[in-house]
Amino acid sequence: MQQLIFATNNRHKLEEVAAKIKGKFELLSLDDIGCTDDIEETGTTFRENASIKSQYIYQKYQLNCFGDDSGLEIDTLNGEPGVYSARYAGEHGNQMANINKVLTNLAGQTNRKARFRTVISLMWNGEEHFFDGTVEGSIRTEPSGNDPFGYNPIFEAEGYNVTFAEISLEEKNKISHRAKAMDQLISFLSAANDK
């Protein structure tokens, strides 16, 4: 079975992707290939950061691999927090501080249109391919729901009257930005694998 490296050690992401790939490839994490390097995301776009990860692994190990980057873009805030989504309030991964900063910056704003975006960069036999997924929605005025991950408690997808923190994981995985980008990646891999 052909190996495919996902340039992450995030177990949640790995399980999600493994479930979608359904055993067509042997999915490996950075831990699995012994990579403990801290790959700095110095890009100013999701595309650049995803590419930094996949290019780094491909150049070092010469293995087919992919990396991703994602975040929240809010129209009124000129696309913020964007690539800085995980560290918008300063400290990386302080989710409540990030949410509070968004809500403060949007205070009094009537245009609360936003989207989650994911970009995947795949290095496949030396060639780079990109896959992009978005889910449109808006920002609530206060958090709601039991899933505290990222901006889920304040993001309401178009066509829903609940936040991402209030819908089931199964439902979210059908409509999310990451699911859409992954579906494109898997279609590409399936076609490549059949050749």
- Give catalytic residues, as residue numbers: 69
Q: Is 62 left (phi over 0), alpha (psi -120 to 50) or beta?
A: left
| 130 Cα distance to chain centroid | 13
CA dihedral 9, 178, 193, 62 (to 10 degrees): -40
187: burial class by Cβ within 10 Å (0-12, 13-18, 19+)?
exposed
